[in-house]
């Protein structure tokens, strides 16, 4: 399991290997349509790249 901290400082746990797109989909279908990239440990991260 990994812990993800969101911009509002909320924290959620997800299975290792999840992608940023899957995380966005779990929050909101609209977010998943609008998101372009993610930041992981200060680095830009492709939406299809596993965390």
pLDDT of 39 reads: 93
pLDDT of 5 reads: 94
Judge contact between 30 and 46, C-beta under 8 A: no
pLDDT of 3 reads: 95
pLDDT of 27 reads: 95
Q: Measure the CA–CA gap between 11 and 22, rounded to whole angstroms.
A: 16
How do residues 1-51 score in pLDDT, each as one tens digit?
Answer: 999 999 999 999 999 999 999 999 999 999 999 999 999 999 999 999 999
pLDDT of 4 reads: 94
Give the predicted TM-score (pTM) of the model: 0.86
Q: Does domain 2-45 have CATH number 3.10.20.30?
A: yes
| Closest C-alpha among 32, 34, 38 to residue 7 | 38
Q: Measure the CA–CA gap between 42 and 26, rounded to whole angstroms.
A: 22
């Amino acid at each position: 399991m990994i812990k993800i901290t969101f911009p509002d400082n909320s924290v959620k746990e997800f299975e290792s290997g999840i992608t940023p797109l899957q995380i966005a989909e779990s929050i909101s279908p609209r977010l998943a349509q609008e998101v372009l990239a993610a930041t992981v440990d200060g680095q830009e991260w492709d939406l299809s790249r596993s965390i």
